[in-house]
Structure 1
Amino acid sequence: MIKRISLLLIVIFNTFLSQGQSTTTVLKEKSLVKGQTIYLNSKARLGGKNRIVVPIRLPANTVAWYYSFTTVTTNNAKQHVPGSGLQMQIAKLITDGALNLISAGLVTNIVSQLIKPTGSGAVDVYLTDANGLKQFERKDLVGMYAVNVPTFYSEGTAQNSRNGVFQIPIIRNDLSLCLRNPSVTEGVAVSVDVVAIVSSKEYRDIWSTKNISSIYDDCLNKFSVKDAEAEKACNCAKSKVSTSYKPSFYLALSDSKRTDVLQEAMKRCLQESDSSGISGKEKRIQEITELVKGQEITKEYAGAVRSYNELIILGANSWQNYNGLAYNQLRLGLFEDARKNITTGLGKNPEDLSLLANLGNYYLLTNKYDQALQIFQKYKNKKRSDKKKFKDILSEDLKEFERLGFDNVYFNKTRQDLKIK
């Protein structure tokens, strides 16, 4: 059971990461051979070798690789030849943005920006595959190395050269650099550097275009009238949210918390845009007020929720609007959202019977009957300012919830305890 819970938590966490983070392709350099000095005898000198093989084992996700070499003419087998610093050069070019991934397996050619090392000797370097390697290592009948040149790739081959730097587009793991001293009399020391460029995916906690667009869409869906002013406010709101919160944090919030954050941003944006004058704001409040009356008549509860939210964001935050918002949320089964707005409304008018009835409705619909009955019993004989009795309000509410399909065992019990017909 613990394993199943842990797995579920991992899935949920990864879901938030995938939503909140942006995948970025990153290039990194990896040194395969770093300034290795190789001494090659002359052909005439007995003992030692006049040829050697440097196998190339490329890491996974290699998109290009490079090698450089430099030489010194010497008969001292212990001669050290400084490397070319190829890895540091490539690392700097990646950091500076000079080396970029054009497409899978193809990067910009930067050979012209790499420092070509100097050299004083000469060496043959062949880039070969497995077949070429066999040819390079073949010996004649008396046990001497054959003089045949192996088949090679021209992109990485240099014959009788003092130095060189190459970018190799061939990505295979049967490749080798075959080095040979062509001189009959002089030995040569060779320094070799090999660097691979590896492509990897990194997840960064930055807003993706898709997620920023979703903030805008969520904002626009909260407006009943989706006009130019609404679009302007939502462009502003998405900017405020995306600059104030990391995506992983914002997307890990509950739906209600994200709604609170977004609505606060919308409110600030509308207040800022209204600095030019109050008339536009008042006109919009009037339009939404008329709209919500129609939505109540046509029973468009989701639309009414949007309208009441918009009125509150626009500054029309009367207890009546909080009550209207909460009642429609109860109709939609958004119980906790309704409770929050009932509480806010009661803070503005703690004795309003409609808000108190809805608080009782909240307890009733969430099966907290004792708390609901306590409110109903206390106010059952009270009348609203329009002379409507509390029990009549409650009777209408119960019928409405039943019409909407809420199946609650406490509805009839409420009627019996309060003697409601």
Structure 2
Amino acid sequence: MSSSNENAAERVRVTVDAIYRSDSRRVFATLVRLLGDFDLAEEALHDAFRAALEQWPQEGMPANPRAWLVSTGRFKAIDNLRRRARFVDLPPDAAERLGTDDSEGRDPADIGNGGASLMALAERVADGLGDPAAWDDESVEDDRLRLIFTCCHPALSPDAQVALTLREVCGLTTEEIARAFLTAPSTLAQRIVRAKAKIRDARIPYQVPTREDLPERLDAVLRVVYLVFNEGYSASLGGSLTRHDLSEEAIRLGRLLIELLPEPEAQGLLALMLLHESRRAARTSPGGELILLDEQDRALWNRDQIAQGLALVERALSSRRFGPYTLQAAIAAVHAEAPSAGETDWAQIVGLYNVLLRIEPSPVVELNRAVAVAMYDGPEAGLTLVDGILARGDLEDYHLAHAARADLCRRLERTAEARAAYERALSLTRQEPERRFLERRLNELLD
């Protein structure tokens, strides 16, 4: 291969990698609709990207890469189904010799009963192929919403709904999802497999629910979107504090939900995400170091996002049908409206946490309220609350609880306790910017 061809292939590879990061889950969602099967769609997705690496260097970039990938993935799936149909009735040793026994463990019988069923499925998929030009950006975005509601179907357990959506819609790894759930990756993997089997066996439809059914399905979807945003706003592990692609995706999904169902809590969630996202540019230094809220340069906060968030909070609160997302957004709004950290209305924030704790009691809400109390009534009052939470065994493995205790002990000059708490927090965190921040604080105490 000549140097120019090698350079062209490398440029295509870089482009394909970028498209995979930005668009692969959109392509996947459309393939799920077209193929009617998660595993077939995943296989078709990877076949399509593999084909792009092979064909685009010779043929050039298509005008609409996303539509090309959808079309190619679907044709690859049809070809695979037809190939399997031809060999499914052969003796096992013959199928193995021909390399068609699906060595990755996917039994063709999972798709259909015998070659005739596989061929019938292939033909049904082919008959519905339609015009690839009709797969525009709008229809693909609709597919993301369909996939979300499919993954959040009430036939699935709440935890399975969230885990499956994070994996299949947003492409988070099993480890990332397990971190969000505070559970073992193997447990999450089994949960996802069972959820996909339930969708297949129960023939759960791939569609947006009717307007009558939407409200009861909304809570699970909001929870999913919130967890996606949290993973983007503060990544659970890795070298970067944030994952902008995930928080941007969650905000986009939040906007779609409001268009579909403008309920107060959907508005509250979008407000919460926008208000938090407005601080992104100020949350890290140019070198990627963590900057706490009270030390951030507020001139870097995104005023357009703040304005949108404040308007949504006001609208949701005025409905008087709001819930925990709206209350959290109201807390974020108080921070956003403060000209400086020293002018923050901590009394209002504590009051909002009091309401939030009544309607959604949880140790994490208690911890956040304790930090607010420490800012309003002093570190001693906050530390008493944090110690009470930890004494119950709640949040024992939650690094932010120990980091909060360490900071309060530091402010009270209880140095030995602060060091022990920082060390405990360090042992639990898996995100590099947070680790470096905690190490700096610990080293300051050792000097």
The TM-score with structure 1 as length reference comes to: 0.27
* Higher RCO structure (Cα 8 Å, ≥6 apart): 1
Alignment TM-score, normalising by the size of structure 2: 0.26
**Which one has the bigger strand percentage?**
1
More helix by share: 2
